[in-house]
């Protein structure tokens, strides 16, 4: 969507049209809608823009819930936007630190600014892209504490605020089909500029969860967050936004609510031991934060093999920080033998997980030659005390 498309969408005709076509999915419904709206005499370009927004709003419900129904998006903006449940955690940090004026630099479509403003914090949201800034202005209109400015985040006068939230652009410019930028010097603003800002006042920084850990300063609290078992971000916190004594944090958000595991540094692993009755797979946020050892000690577990992020316990455990599987059997890493065992036990469907073995799960699945059984099992391909093995498991 370019500026002309957005300007046409923001007219009374465009917004009224958008209100008529909520939640359209891909397929015949869209085809019929296009035909109907064009037959009514609406501009074809406006119709295309409206239907694109309807589809984006439907997709955005996963991130923004009911708020998505009045928001506007670009493809890239929605993809890169912070989930509202995560943005609420960010905003809570600023509020707890007593910060009342926050600059959201690189605000995108306004997800984090929305959460900050919802806590009655004064927010200046800045983005360098004209279309994106205009969309953020629309999305933040119901929240008077937030205002949007078109500008370069690197040139913002941080003396105007008490704290900064930075989300460096890590993809090429554009509203769709963008490409990831791997070099931190190519981000906007660059990582050096971001860390320079962090020396001036309380700062939070959103980065991708897979960022090189060597780039994380010793002065920051590094917090990895997962939502419904998907690791979605690494946030770095500086100054009073970082909690005393905490340098590593794993925040796990799911049906259970919000749970957190923290530590002063990377945790030392627990000892390696034999596979017990239960196999424990730590949440990705726990793995990224390198707090597996602390989780193992909390659960009374042991590592299956050195350097492999699986634990084992002899008794069932209930924790938001991991998935727990009951061990059925241990088999050699031989697709033919495993396939025969699955068929004998009536398993026609199998979930394949792997760590520490050089195996393509899709190819391995084909080699199993699964039969038409009605049961479902979990197959964990890994190393047990250094040896390759397949662990046949059930979800409790």
In the predicted model, is pLDDT for residue 182 greater than 90? no
pLDDT at 23: 47
Strand partners, 375: 347
For the chain, the first-to-last Cα distance in angstroms comes to: 47
User: Mean of the pLDDT values across residues 96-114?
Assistant: 96
Alpha-helix residue ranges (DSSP H) falling in the chain:
3-9, 12-20, 28-39, 44-64, 75-80, 84-96, 111-118, 130-140, 191-198, 284-288, 292-299, 335-344, 361-368
In the predicted model, is pLDDT for residue 193 greater than 90? no
d(CA 48, CA 67): 22
In the predicted model, is pLDDT for residue 171 greater than 60? no
pLDDT at 331: 95
Extents of the domains making up the chain: 3-58, 78-263, 278-394
158 token code pair: 């941080």
Could you read off the pLDDT of 196-227 as tens digits, one per residue? 888 889 999 999 998 899 999 999 999 999 99
Cβ 357 vs Cβ 382: under 8 Å: yes
pLDDT at 170: 65
pLDDT at 25: 44
Separation in Å, CA 175 to CA 15, 87, 131, 217:
20, 22, 9, 31
Closest of 362, 370, 348, 361 to residue 390, by C-alpha: 361
Q: Which residues contact 163 (CB under 8 A, 6 or more apart)?
A: 94, 97, 99, 101, 102, 103, 201, 202, 203, 204, 241
Superfamily of chain region 78-263 = Vaccinia Virus protein VP39 (3.40.50.150)
Strand partners, 122: 101
Could you read off the pLDDT of 248-269 as tens digits, one per residue? 999 999 999 999 999 999 999 9
pTM of structure: 0.90
d(CA 161, CA 158): 6
pLDDT at 176: 61
Confidence of residue 29 (pLDDT cuts 50, 70, 90): low
In the predicted model, is pLDDT for residue 169 greater than 80? no
The strand pair at 230-238 and 248-254 is best described as: unpaired
Cβ 207 vs Cβ 236: under 8 Å: yes
d(CA 327, CA 350): 14
């Amino acid at each position: 969507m370019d500026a002309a498309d957005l300007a046409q969408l923001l007219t009374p005709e465009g917004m009224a049209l958008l209100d008529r076509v909520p939640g359209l999915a891909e397929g015949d419904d869209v085809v019929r809608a296009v035909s109907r709206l064009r037959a009514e005499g609406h501009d074809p370009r406006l119709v295309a823009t409206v239907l694109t927004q309807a589809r984006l709003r439907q997709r955005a419900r996963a991130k923004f819930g009911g708020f998505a129904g009045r928001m506007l998006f670009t493809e890239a903006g929605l993809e890169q936007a912070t989930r509202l449940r995560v943005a609420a955690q960010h905003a809570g940090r600023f509020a707890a630190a007593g910060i009342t004026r926050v600059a959201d630099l690189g605000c995108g479509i306004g997800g984090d600014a929305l959460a900050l403003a919802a806590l009655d914090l004064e927010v200046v949201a800045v983005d360098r892209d004209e279309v994106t800034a205009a969309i953020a202005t629309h999305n933040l209109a119901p929240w008077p504490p937030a205002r949007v400015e078109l500008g370069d985040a690197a040139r913002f006068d941080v003396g105007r605020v008490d704290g900064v939230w930075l989300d460096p652009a890590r993809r090429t410019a554009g509203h769709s089909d963008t490409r990831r930028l791997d070099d931190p010097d190519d981000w906007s603003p660059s990582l050096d500029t971001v860390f320079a800002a962090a020396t001036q006042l309380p700062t939070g920084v959103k980065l991708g969860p897979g960022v090189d850990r060597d780039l994380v300063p010793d002065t920051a609290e590094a917090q990895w967050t997962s939502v419904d078992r998907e690791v979605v971000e690494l946030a770095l916190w500086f100054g009073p936004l970082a909690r005393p004594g905490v340098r590593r944090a794993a925040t796990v958000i799911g049906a259970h609510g919000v749970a957190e595991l923290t530590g002063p540094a990377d945790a030392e692993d627990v000892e390696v031991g034999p596979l017990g009755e239960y196999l424990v797979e730590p949440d990705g946020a726990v793995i990224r934060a390198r707090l597996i050892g602390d989780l193992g000690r909390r659960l009374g577990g042991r590592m299956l093999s050195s350097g492999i992020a699986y634990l084992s316990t002899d008794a069932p455990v209930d924790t938001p920080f991991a998935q727990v599987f009951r061990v059925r059997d241990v088999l050699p890493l031989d697709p033919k033998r495993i396939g025969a065992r699955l068929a004998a036990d009536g398993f026609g469907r199998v979930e394949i997980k792997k760590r520490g073995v050089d195996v393509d799960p899709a190819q391995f699945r084909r080699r199993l030659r699964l039969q038409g059984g009605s049961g479902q099992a979990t197959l964990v391909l890994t190393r047990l005390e250094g040896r390759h093995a397949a662990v046949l498991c059930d979800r409790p």
